[in-house]
A and B are shown apart, each in its own frame.
Chain A
Amino acid sequence: MSPATQPQPSYSPMELMITVAARYLEDGATVVVGTGAPCAAAMLAQRLNSPNLMVMFEAGGIGPQLPSMPISVGDSRTFYRGVAASSMPEIMGMCQRGMVDYCFLGGAQVDPYGNLNSTVIGPYERPKVRFPGSGGANDLASLCWRTMMLTPQDRRRFVPRVDFVTTPGYLTGPGAREAAGLPPGTGPYKVITNLCVIGFDEATKLMRVESLHPGISRADVEANTGFELLWADGLADTAPPTRDELRVLREEVDPLRYIIGRA
């Protein structure tokens, strides 16, 4: 995009994660987002590649023209100039009917099948740490077609087994979601971290690294993962954010640096 003579713009890991996530959200898709980075990714996508991306929030906001980053997924920004100010049953019903393409989730722990824990660290009855619980995460990951995860990558977070399956990924492997009764054809799609983009192997439903972010080596990724990862045959390099993407992200999406200032 930019002439070869221009130096690459610098960017933070968070800016890269948001930018990469935004590229996956195609025009005309529907996505349920939370606050923070996922919301920033959806806003960025709307301003660049996907003006007709339909953004929704679990508390009922549908298609807002977000004037600023929401603080709560139920605050008034989530339906500001929206197409509807609806309800949680409306949004969750839409997910269960099969009309929501993407959701974005994170968690305290994630395992090789993309199962997420946001409930407890340690044994359930005597937890070392208690977290908020599912919220809408279990619902969205059960019902939306594709689950996206946006998360920092380290050994504390990427664990061989989560202490508690708050939210289902591929559970124990191929066929497990269907056997459990979850709608067929759903499940984790991409995990976008500060180091790489991870997909899921069709045959095993295990995490498989698809592209490495600029300056990141295979060893870096391995050092920050608590389990054996699969690697795509044609391992790619993640395209860095363009000047255009960074400008829109910094000037229009998050001018007060609520999200991008964190990294």
Chain B
Amino acid sequence: MPEFSERRPELFMDPDVDAARRFFRDKPRRMENKVTTVAEAVRRYVTDGCYIAVGGFGTNRIPTALLHEILRQGRKGLGLSGHTATHDCQILAAGEAFDRCDVAYVIGLEARGLSRSARRLFETGRLRVTEWSNAALAWRYQAAAMGIPFMPARVMLGSDTGLRSAAAEITCPFTGIKLLALPALYPDVALVHVHRSDVYGNCQIDGISVSDLDVARAARRLIVTCERLVPTEEIRRDPTRTAIPYYLVDAVSEVPYGSYPGNMPYEYFSDEDHLRRWLEAEEDPVRLCEFVRRHILDTPDFTAYLELCGGLERMRQLRLRELLIPENVSPAPAAPAAPAVPAQGGDR
């Protein structure tokens, strides 16, 4: 395999902690109203070529509205942290919005199958790719969040994943064991969807936080979308619940159903029919183009996308599914047994 060592694995983001300190020194820490639109937040903070991290877990608590807006505004040349990037990666790949990627998990949608479109993109050789594991990326964020240049860990050792990463082997000064030094990852911008935020960006998350506590602290800029804007009083009533404090946050947008078609814990389940239609559209690049134009590029905003996908009625169904409430109401006892739910909402 002569090709194997053609390229040295690239470290896309500088783990320079003092440069990061200088940046964070100037980051405003005043409590001020940061509410803005999704379009404005993307325009201001997601610039061509910047490196982004996406919160949540691929199809769970993802900032879909922000990802759509990146396509709508035609951003190009982004760097992507592929920390279980599933539907998020699929959206950005459809728009060919990124040209480099730290890969821990991309292309796949877990049990649903693989995105042909994302796979095609990764197989073209046009992307610059460095391999990692999920824990490696999680701990790289953690190092950045702590303000240290690397985190030592015992993963990726002995594997090609490690060889194709930009990590370095070190010896522990205390125990003498071999460790892998994972360089701090400071994304230019992080996009995170949460359950609740106040206007200043104090955020609450229900359920698992995945790596988002560290993602929020590692990123130079943080755009938050939330299911609901809440009064600061609600944050102050139970400060134990504040997962992301306001001083990390640069912009806040209220986007109800903002993780759709992904799952939002305790709010709504993923729309498996819509995700399947997306995967099917990828069978043919022309069909995918049409699909993306119809659902993203030709829609003015996320609300229009939700309408196209079945609107409130569809959201109601997904809410019942999330809460494990049976969806079939039997109005009359004599009614013949029908399928429990219409297979999907308005969109076909």
Closest to A177 in B: B158
| Chain A CB within 8 A of B114 CB | yes
Whether a CB of chain A sits under 8 angstroms from the CB of B265 is: yes
A131 interfacial contact with B, CB 8 Å: yes
Question: Can you list 30 A-B contacts with CB-CB less than 8 angstroms, sorted by A residue number?
Answer: A59-B57, A59-B60, A60-B208, A72-B57, A72-B110, A74-B58, A79-B207, A87-B210, A88-B134, A89-B214, A92-B135, A125-B3, A125-B6, A126-B3, A130-B123, A132-B114, A135-B84, A135-B134, A136-B105, A136-B133, A136-B135, A138-B133, A142-B154, A142-B156, A143-B154, A167-B161, A181-B179, A182-B154, A182-B157, A182-B158
Residue on B with the closest CB to A258?
B111
In the bound assembly, the distance between CA atoms of A164 and B3 in angstroms comes to 13
- Closest beta carbon of chain B to A236's beta carbon, Å: 32
Q: Add 17 more A-B contacts to A124-B1, A180-B158, A183-B154 (CB < 8 A).
A: A67-B324, A71-B110, A72-B58, A76-B265, A76-B266, A87-B208, A89-B142, A115-B159, A124-B164, A125-B4, A133-B104, A142-B154, A165-B158, A165-B160, A165-B161, A179-B158, A180-B157
**A73 and B138 alpha carbons, distance in the complex (Å):** 16
Give me the interface of A with B, judged by CB distance under 8 Å.
Answer: 34-36, 58-61, 67, 71-76, 78-79, 85-89, 92, 95-96, 115, 119, 123-127, 129-139, 142-143, 164-168, 171, 176-177, 179-183
Q: Within 8 Å CB of B139, what residues of A? A: 89, 92
> What per-residue 1/0 map shows which CB atoms of B59-73 lie under 8 Å from chain A?
110000000000000
Q: Which residues of B contact A143 (CB under 8 A)?
A: 154-155
Instruction: Note all chain B residues with C-beta closer than 8 A to A58.
Output: 134
- CB contact list, B1-24 vs A, under 8 A: 1, 3-4, 6-7
> Cβ of A142: which chain B residues have Cβ within 8 Å of it?
154-157
> Which residues of chain A come closer than 8 Å to B79, judged between CB atoms?
none
B186 at the interface (CB under 8 A from A): no
Q: Which residues of A contact B270 (CB under 8 A)?
A: 71-72, 75
Distance (whole angstroms) from the CB of B274 to the closest CB of chain A:
13
CB of B103 within 8 Å of the partner chain = yes
Interface of B with A (CB < 8 Å)? 1, 3-4, 6-7, 56-60, 82, 84, 86, 103-108, 110-112, 114, 119, 122-123, 125, 131-136, 138-139, 142, 153-161, 164, 169, 177-180, 206-214, 263, 265-266, 269-270, 272, 322, 324
Q: For residue A176, which residue of chain B has the nearest CB?
A: B158
Minimum CB–CB distance from B195 to chain A (whole Å) comes to 12
A86 to B324, CA, bound (A): 22
Residues in chain A near residue B86, CB distance under 8 A: 72
Q: Which residues of B contact A125 (CB under 8 A)?
A: 3-4, 6-7, 125
**CB-CB < 8 A to B153: which residues of A?**
96
Q: Are B122 and A130 in contact (CB under 8 A)?
A: yes
Instruction: Report the Cα distance A85→B212, complex, angstroms.
Output: 13
Contacts A96-B153, A138-B161, A181-B177 hold; do A76 and B60 have CB atoms under 8 A apart?
yes
Docked CA distance A130–B103 (Å): 11
Contact A119 B56 (CB under 8 A): no
B270: min CB distance to chain A, Å? 7
Chain A residues lying within 8 Å of B213, measured Cβ to Cβ, are 87
In the complex, A164 Cα to B266 Cα: how many Å? Answer: 40
Chain A nearest Cβ from B89, distance in angstroms = 9
Q: By the criterion CB–CB under 8 Å, are B155 and A74 in contact?
A: no
Partner pick for A130 among B119, B138, B177, B207, CB 8 A cutoff = B119
Give Cα A131 to B262, complex, Å.
22
Return chain B residues, CB-CB under 8 Å to A74: 56-60, 84, 208, 210
Nearest-neighbor residue (CB-CB) of A133 within chain B: B103
Residues of B close to A165: CB separation below 8 A: 158-161
Task: Give A134 to B60 CA distance when docked, in angstroms.
Answer: 19
Give the distance in Å from the alpha carbon of A37 to the alpha carbon of B221 in the complex. 40
- Quick check: A164 and B160 within 8 Å, CB to CB? yes
In angstroms, Cα B138 to Cα A95, docked, is 14
State the Cβ distance, B278 to closest chain A Cβ, in Å: 14
Please give the distance in Å from A99's CB to the nearest CB on chain B.
14
Flag if A139 contacts B3 (CB, 8 Å): no
